Chain A
Amino acid sequence: GAVVSQHPSRVICKSGTSVKIECRSLDFQATTMFWYRQFPKQSLMLMATSNEGSKATYEQGVEKDKFLINHASLTLSTLTVTSAHPEDSSFYICSAFKGGVSNQPQHFGDGTRLSIL
């Protein structure tokens, strides 16, 4: 089956640091990837839709300059949390979607737990 790899799985860093999270589709080309944020015991909140070769589409309330998304190839999307602060601490999950095919599931990475001290 489809496999999505997300790296790193956990990051602990100081306030003000920028953190990059990678999401790779390992066995298929992903024209569209999604980035979610999840707080403890809550649901996934869509942050942005990442499209290969074009700008990401951000959901309302998500700061574009804070959460930089790059989807430079059909197998890699990156999320950079710039100048992270403690309120950015959360569980970030990516998913990859093959695109062009309707009624298909998303394939999720294992998430990145970000802790900002």
Chain B
Amino acid sequence: SQQGEEDPQALSIQEGENATMNCSYKTSINNLQWYRQNSGRGLVHLILIRSNEREKHSGRLRVTLDTSKKSSSLLITASRAADTASYFCATDAAGTYKYIFGTGTRLKVLA
């Protein structure tokens, strides 16, 4: 399977703490994306990082990409209860528009 893996599978933190999720993938990519999914809903795009980029920021989100290790991390700073959701990384299959999703991290932020 080409599916990426994320760790941890589940993460529970207190409000105000930082949350870090990691994603590993198997093939060469053009870009890697992070998505958020609230329970029973569709996915919301958070950040796209290109293969030639190493770090990207968007508000309280920070994404890093290490193509030599085929891994990425998503950091959410100063977490809020509303950040509670599942987070998925997705990588594009080389030469296509298809995206392979990671196994996901279920984040719970306790108020």
Q: Contact: A46 with B40, CB < 8 Å?
A: no
Q: Contact: A41 with B106, CB < 8 Å?
A: yes
| Contact-size category for B | 20 to 34
DSSP class of B's interface residues: helix, strand, loop or mixed?
strand
Q: Contact: A99 with B40, CB < 8 Å?
A: no
**In the assembled complex, B14 has its CB within 8 A of some CB on chain A:** no
Q: Contact: B88 with A103, CB < 8 Å?
A: no
New A-B pairs, 19, CB < 8 Å, besides A42-B104, A108-B35: A4-B42, A34-B98, A43-B3, A43-B104, A44-B43, A45-B101, A93-B42, A99-B97, A102-B30, A103-B30, A103-B31, A106-B33, A106-B45, A106-B99, A107-B45, A108-B43, A110-B41, A110-B42, A111-B40
A23 to chain B, nearest CB (A): 10
Partner of B101, one of A44, A99, A102: A44
Q: Contact: A32 with B88, CB < 8 Å?
A: no
- Interface code B73-86, partner A: CB below 8 Å = 1, 0 otherwise? 00000000000000
Partner of B50, one of A41, A46, A103: A103
**In the assembled complex, A20 has its CB within 8 A of some CB on chain B:** no
- Interface code A86-117, partner B: CB below 8 Å = 1, 0 otherwise? 00000101010101001111111111010000
A54 to chain B, nearest CB (A): 14
Q: What residues of B have a CB within 8 angstroms of the CB of A104 in the complex?
A: 48
B107 to chain A, nearest CB (A): 13
